[in-house]
Chain A
Amino acid sequence: MPIAPSQYDHDVRASDAEFPASDRTRSEDYLWTLNFGPQHPATHTTLRLVLTLDGERVVDALPEMGYLHSGFEKLGEHLTFNQYVTVTDRMNYISPMANNVAWHCAVEKLMGIQLTPRCQYIRTIIAELARISDHLLSNGAVGLDVGAFTFFLYAFYQREVIYDIFETLCGARFTNSYTRVGGVSHDFTPLVVQKIRDFIKTFPKTLADMERLLTRNRIFVDRTKGVGVLSKEAAINGGASGPVARASGVPRDLRKDEPYLAYADFQFQVCCAAAGDCYARYLVRMQEMRESLKIVAQAIENLPAGDIHIGIDQRTSLPTKKQVYSTIEGTISHFELSMANRGFEVPCEESYMGTEAPNGELGFYIVGDGSESAYRARCRPPSLLHFSLFPQLIRGHTLSDVVAVLGSLNIIAAELDR
């Protein structure tokens, strides 16, 4: 039974304002349309671009998304806060720990919970390891799309080392669902600390190897320098954040501007560049990996001792078995948290918490209604705003630059579509 193609073609309409009259293609027959479809190796999973080309030069690009929209925000209204963290893993799936930290920091802000120092340090460490993992894959994908396969394999090998650390910590390579309200699920064991220390020792050498491959490579520089320039005003007006904005000269880093967790205790620099092209974004990400490694090194040496969960009288974290059997507070907490129809109280209020995720400002706007599940769990995805900037970055460049620009923006389809 043949399937009529018209069933699958989306009717792509664009209005006049998005394509100004000088760019309209009706009177110009030499312009042709290329569908850079949702299934394409270089589109980093499911994005779609409808390119209007003059030979090889891109006259305009119409981005389309939604090919991975799974109803995350509606799910957030039916799952409890501790259940929803599993769903946040699957948003920016190349750094899931960062999403877990962002979600639970937002929940704890709504509930007004102050974490223990050890928990703050642990969350900082894993968030920075997730940042290294994200930048490795992002730059690796830029390298892969431009043609550097070895660079990609080096990056993936280092990511396997980070996966190993996470697996030793909580049992899952990625999609860890590691954080809980008021704490984390597993504490650092000496083996985990040892593995992180080994990683800190061996990573700089690999990073230097990777830089030697690409940073001064004539081919790479020619392909990325001057390509996809984003001006500072366009970055701010378009809502860009993270490395994309910092590479355009916007010196905004939420770890320094609005310190959360334990970032105020560490010394690190915010990496910015002025050029705003793909090469600048690549360099910013490479340097940020070094800064993240510095943070991890400082944190792991100064890890405070103590409990990772907040006190049981706050009725949000599950108490330990010893507490349950020997103290009345523990028993009550355990009852309150485990029985159905009970659970912790959340104020009937709304709050927003933005964190510096590897991709940009990842924030959650949570509306609480008194129960254990959110009334509305809105995720503010950095990739959405970066992808909306794509047309202005690509006008005038060639078809091969589409791949470089798309890779450098690091658009993760799951975060984009939710």
Chain B
Amino acid sequence: MPISIPMPSTPPLTADTSDILRFLTERFGALETSLFRDQTRIVVPESKSLEVLAFLKDSGFDMLVDLTCVDYLEYRDALRRYGLVYLLASTLTNQRLTLRVFVDDPVMNPHAVLSDGPEAADKPMPTVRSAVPLWAAANWLEREVWDLFGVRFLGHPDLRRLVMPDAFTAHPLRKDYPLQGRGERHNFPVLTRDDG
């Protein structure tokens, strides 16, 4: 006779990745998963991304290894432009998991040059909720994604540029920004021997 056992809200720590996926799909519905070279990847829509991350953190993925972004503008057969990648690891069970969240530019005008422009709050930018409440490591990683790709993180305590100068206006790692830049690198005064 089947007995109904209430499912625990978080899976036990010794579960392997397939168990975690099972708990995830039970809790959040069907998620697109794939396996490549012993890495499990899950695609999560932005509306659920923070909840899924919180669930995974409680399940034992205590370390955020990396948080990065890929601009799929020139990728063959790509449907969405920005793919945020969250690499999670568990120091207790040595598992790894890759989470992907896809976002798009809000203004889908193919003729707009979206890679530069003032960083005004009213400028529409792709937006994702910030993972800083979960992992402190996300703080600087999200700042870097904002700096180089222009993906805004809601709820980030201090979202400003990390690697580029504050006065820089573009987001350099986007595919429509050229490798050599647009002349910013040589826009400085020249010192001669007279000025010494």
Residue of B nearest to A73 (CB): B173
A208 close to chain B: CB less than 8 A: no
Looking at B157, B163, B166, B172, the one whose CB has the most chain A CB atoms below 10 A away is B163
A18/B157 in contact, CB under 8 A: yes
Looking at A239, A361, A378, A384, the one whose CB has the most chain B CB atoms below 10 A away is A239
Residue of A nearest to B190 (CB): A1
Residue of B nearest to A245 (CB): B91
**Chain A interface residue bracket vs B:** 35 or more
Residues 201-235 of A, flagged 1 when their CB comes within 8 A of B and 0 if not, give 00000000000000000000000000000000010
A166 close to chain B: CB less than 8 A: no
Question: Which B residues touch A348, using CB under 8 A?
Answer: 76
How far does the Cβ of B122 sit from chain A's closest Cβ, in whole Å? 19
B91/A239 in contact, CB under 8 A: no
Residues 56-68 of B, flagged 1 when their CB comes within 8 A of A and 0 if not, give 0000001111101
A365/B195 in contact, CB under 8 A: no
A71 close to chain B: CB less than 8 A: yes
B163/A69 in contact, CB under 8 A: yes
A365/B36 in contact, CB under 8 A: no
Residues 152-168 of B, flagged 1 when their CB comes within 8 A of A and 0 if not, give 00000110111111100
A351/B75 in contact, CB under 8 A: no
Question: Which A residues touch B63, using CB under 8 A?
Answer: 236-237, 239
Residues 369-387 of A, flagged 1 when their CB comes within 8 A of B and 0 if not, give 1100001101010001101
Interface residue ranges of B36-55 to A (CB < 8 Å): 36-37, 39, 41
Instruction: Please measure, in the bound complex, the distance between the C-alpha atom of A351 and the C-alpha atom of B91, giving whole angstroms.
Output: 20
A349/B166 in contact, CB under 8 A: no
Given that A1-B195, A238-B137, A348-B76 are known contacts, is A380 also in contact with B91, CB under 8 Å in the complex? no
A378/B66 in contact, CB under 8 A: yes
Question: Which A residues touch B85, using CB under 8 A?
Answer: 350, 365, 378
B114 close to chain A: CB less than 8 A: no
Looking at B71, B94, B137, B189, the one whose CB has the most chain A CB atoms below 10 A away is B137
Interface residue ranges of B124-162 to A (CB < 8 Å): 135-137, 139-141, 144, 148, 157-158, 160-162
Residues 162-196 of B, flagged 1 when their CB comes within 8 A of A and 0 if not, give 11111000001100000100000000010100010
Instruction: Please measure, in the bound complex, the distance between the C-alpha atom of A112 and the C-alpha atom of B39, giving whole angstroms.
Output: 13
Question: Which A residues touch B41, using CB under 8 A?
Answer: 350
B65/A361 in contact, CB under 8 A: yes
B140/A69 in contact, CB under 8 A: no
How far does the Cβ of B191 sit from chain A's closest Cβ, in whole Å? 8
A239/B163 in contact, CB under 8 A: no
B136/A365 in contact, CB under 8 A: no
Instruction: Please measure, in the bound complex, the distance between the C-alpha atom of A207 and the C-alpha atom of B96, giving whole angstroms.
Output: 37
Residues 338-378 of A, flagged 1 when their CB comes within 8 A of B and 0 if not, give 00000000001111101000000101010101100001101
Interface residue ranges of B9-45 to A (CB < 8 Å): 36-37, 39, 41
Chain B at the A interface: SS class? loop
A239's partner among B98, B137, B172, B189 (CB-CB below 8 A) is: B137
Question: Which B residues touch A375, using CB under 8 A?
Answer: 70, 74-75
Residue of B nearest to A233 (CB): B62
B172/A349 in contact, CB under 8 A: no
How far does the Cβ of B176 sit from chain A's closest Cβ, in whole Å? 12
A237/B62 in contact, CB under 8 A: yes
B165/A365 in contact, CB under 8 A: no
A14 close to chain B: CB less than 8 A: yes
Instruction: Please measure, in the bound complex, the distance between the C-alpha atom of A196 and the C-alpha atom of B87, giving whole angstroms.
Output: 37
Residues 258-269 of A, flagged 1 when their CB comes within 8 A of B and 0 if not, give 100000000000
B65/A369 in contact, CB under 8 A: no
Question: Which B residues touch A354, using CB under 8 A?
Answer: 65
Question: Which A residues touch B162, using CB under 8 A?
Answer: 65-66
A237/B135 in contact, CB under 8 A: yes
B166/A109 in contact, CB under 8 A: no
A395 close to chain B: CB less than 8 A: no
A189 close to chain B: CB less than 8 A: no
Instruction: Please measure, in the bound complex, the distance between the C-alpha atom of A376 and the C-alpha atom of B166, giving whole angstroms.
Output: 25
How far does the Cβ of B147 sit from chain A's closest Cβ, in whole Å? 8
B91/A252 in contact, CB under 8 A: yes
Question: Which B residues touch A65, using CB under 8 A?
Answer: 162-163
B87/A365 in contact, CB under 8 A: yes
How far does the Cβ of A233 sit from chain B's closest Cβ, in whole Å? 9
A17 close to chain B: CB less than 8 A: yes
Q: Supply 7 A–B pairs (Cβ within 8 Å), ascending by A.
A: A3-B195, A15-B157, A17-B158, A73-B173, A74-B172, A238-B136, A384-B144
Question: 10 other contacts beyond A2-B195, A236-B91, with CB at 8 A cut-off?
Answer: A3-B195, A7-B189, A73-B173, A237-B135, A237-B137, A239-B64, A252-B91, A352-B87, A370-B76, A385-B141
Which 5 pairs, one residue from A and one from B, show the smallest C-beta to C-beta distance?
A239-B137, A17-B157, A66-B163, A69-B163, A380-B66
